[in-house]
């Protein structure tokens, strides 16, 4: 039996053996292969397949390609790599049997930043993310025909994408060669150092590296740099002449950038990168600080879009913008790159800022002082979260005088409620049974006022939902 729950908003992901098994992975491979043929109109498409270091990734690889082989696809195996290398490979040409071949699709087998028992698949077709409704359609195809027997068939063509990637980065960032600024990286025993220190060494950079050996047990800390506790070891090295640090999630498509003073979130990174671009067009998401939007708008253009790495990647290409970024650390460069999220590439763009003489701390400190909360999660049953969002929206239309005065509400992704001195956000998570809230204001006290008012309203609607259900 295959569960709909593993077909998430942005990828396929679940607990291996419980939700993601050898047999249902074969089915995913087979019906995904047929879908790729249908979408590309190529009878025997070439598909880049790679995997991360998790203990079950090889098993899933063999099961997945068994299904793809049955569907008539040709697998280009690039092995153990970071997700950015997988995406990079899908843009390259490979010589197969004397012919230049360009892949039609890519699949990355990875559990990303999830706990070690998870794994899954990030998919692109013709370099566009395959997600959301398309994944539900794939599930429905499988569900109707899940009793077919798929034999093991592990045929693939091995190709070297890592060397192409390393050579590309060394060429793109040759001006960094010999940079004396000392920095430290924390790979978290994930996939970053399948390539990154090789590039550093070729460029003769001055770095220290922590936890570089890929290990699916993640023995040193969980590979999620958005959680402060996972940055403790990195921070301990930011002293004396070492001013900058970089950390990566498990598949190295998400980055954390630190100085001795700041943990620089994705929206602030977008601001720093935009300062090097002429008339930049920058795509942000609804959790951005208003400061970032306001500052970039003084010399460029910003567009607010939905949270989610697949959403931002699509919007970036649709508008041919220069850059998109999530606060969580997914950074997408269309400027001088291919437009996908690659934390390794983003590292070198930060090093460029440093080489150019930008004082990153001072640039951050130029922004007006505000208070911004972290994301605050409110647990709610999966089948109730969107109904609750509707009830919150209705409640905001009939407020009394006890609630802060609302200037307007942005509905791009959930409800971003704009007040005179800041904003509050409430949105339903696309991946978990929660609502996410966030608050920003000119002072901590004002932000707490917004938080207390909105949380009181939300709790009232939850209580009414619960009383109705009982």
Asked if 84 and 340 count as a contact pair (C-beta separation under 8 A), the reply is yes
DSSP for 437-449? EEEEESSHHHHHH
Contact 230, 258 (CB under 8 A): no
201's tokens: 């060494």
- Beta-ladder partners of 248: 255
Q: Which residues are catalytic?
A: 13, 112, 330
Question: Tokens for 219?
Answer: 């023995």
**Cross-strand partners of 46:** 74
In sign, the C-alpha dihedral spanning 214, 346, 266, 13 is: negative
Return the CA Rg of the chain: 23
**377-401: buried (b, 16+ CB within 10 Å) or exposed (e) per residue?**
ebebeeebbeebbebbeeebeeeee
Rounded Cα–Cα distance for residues 222 and 220 (Å) = 7
Contact criterion met (CB below 8 Å) for 161 and 223: no
User: Taking the chain, what is the end-to-end CA distance rounded to the nearest angstrom?
Assistant: 32
Dist CA 129 CA 330 (whole Å): 14
Element (H, E) at 13: strand 12-15
How far apart are alpha carbons 325 and 266 in whole angstroms?
6
Altogether, the residues listed in the chain come to a count of: 470
Q: For residues 426 and 450, what is the distance between their CA atoms, to the nearest angstrom?
A: 12
φ/ψ of residue 355, rounded to 5: -65, -35
Evaluate whether 306 touches 129 at the Cβ level (below 8 Å): no
* Rounded distance between C-alpha atoms, residue 196 and residue 187, angstroms: 9
* Sign of the alpha-carbon dihedral angle for 368, 369, 374, 380: negative
């Amino acid at each position: 039996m295959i569960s709909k729950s593993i077909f998430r908003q942005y990828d396929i992901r679940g607990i291996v053996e419980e939700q993601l098994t050898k047999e249902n992975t074969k089915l995913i491979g087979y019906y995904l292969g047929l879908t790729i043929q249908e979408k590309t109109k190529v009878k025997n498409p070439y598909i880049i397949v790679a995997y991360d270091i998790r203990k079950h990734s090889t098993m899933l690889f063999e099961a997945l390609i068994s299904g793809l082989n049955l569907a008539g696809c040709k697998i280009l195996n690039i092995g153990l790599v970071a997700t950015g290398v997988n995406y990079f490979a899908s843009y390259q040409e490979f010589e197969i049997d004397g012919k230049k071949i360009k892949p039609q699709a890519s699949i990355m087998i990875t559990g990303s930043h999830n706990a070690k028992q998870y794994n899954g698949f990030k998919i692109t077709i013709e370099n566009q993310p395959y997600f959301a409704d398309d994944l539900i359609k794939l599930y429905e195809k499988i569900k109707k025909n899940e009793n077919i027997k798929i034999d093991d068939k592990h045929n693939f063509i091995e190709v070297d994408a890592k060397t192409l990637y390393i050579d590309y980065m060394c060429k793109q960032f040759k001006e960094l060669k010999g940079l004396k600024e000392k920095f430290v990286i924390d790979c978290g025993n994930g996939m970053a150092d399948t390539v990154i220190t090789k590039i550093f060494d070729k460029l003769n950079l001055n770095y220290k590296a922590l936890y570089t050996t890929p290990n699916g047990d993640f023995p040193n800390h969980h590979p999620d740099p958005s959680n402060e506790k996972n940055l403790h070891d990195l921070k301990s090295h930011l002293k004396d002449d070492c001013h900058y640090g970089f950390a990566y999630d498990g598949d190295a498509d998400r980055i954390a950038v630190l100085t001795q003073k700041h943990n620089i979130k994705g929206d602030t990174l977008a601001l720093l990168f935009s300062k090097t671009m002429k008339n930049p067009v920058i795509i942000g998401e609804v959790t951005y600080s208003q400061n970032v939007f306001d500052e970039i708008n003084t010399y460029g253009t910003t567009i607010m879009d939905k949270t989610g790495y697949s959403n931002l990647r699509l919007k970036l290409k649709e508008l041919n913008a220069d850059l998109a970024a999530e606060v969580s650390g997914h950074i997408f460069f269309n400027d001088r790159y291919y437009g996908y999220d690659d934390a390794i590439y983003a590292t070198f763009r930060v090093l460029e800022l440093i080489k150019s003489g930008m004082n990153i701390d001072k640039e951050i400190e130029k922004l007006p002082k505000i208070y911004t909360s972290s994301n605050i999660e409110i647990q709610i049953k999966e089948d109730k979260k969107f109904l609750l969002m509707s009830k919150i929206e209705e409640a905001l239309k009939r407020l009394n005088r006890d609630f802060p005065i609302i200037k307007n509400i942005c509905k791009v992704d959930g409800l971003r409620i704009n007040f005179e001195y800041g904003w509050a956000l409430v949105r339903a998570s696309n991946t978990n049974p929660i609502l996410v809230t966030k608050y920003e204001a000119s002072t901590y006290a004002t932000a707490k006022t917004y938080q207390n008012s909105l949380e009181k309203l939300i709790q009232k609607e939850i209580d009414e939902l619960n009383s109705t259900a009982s």
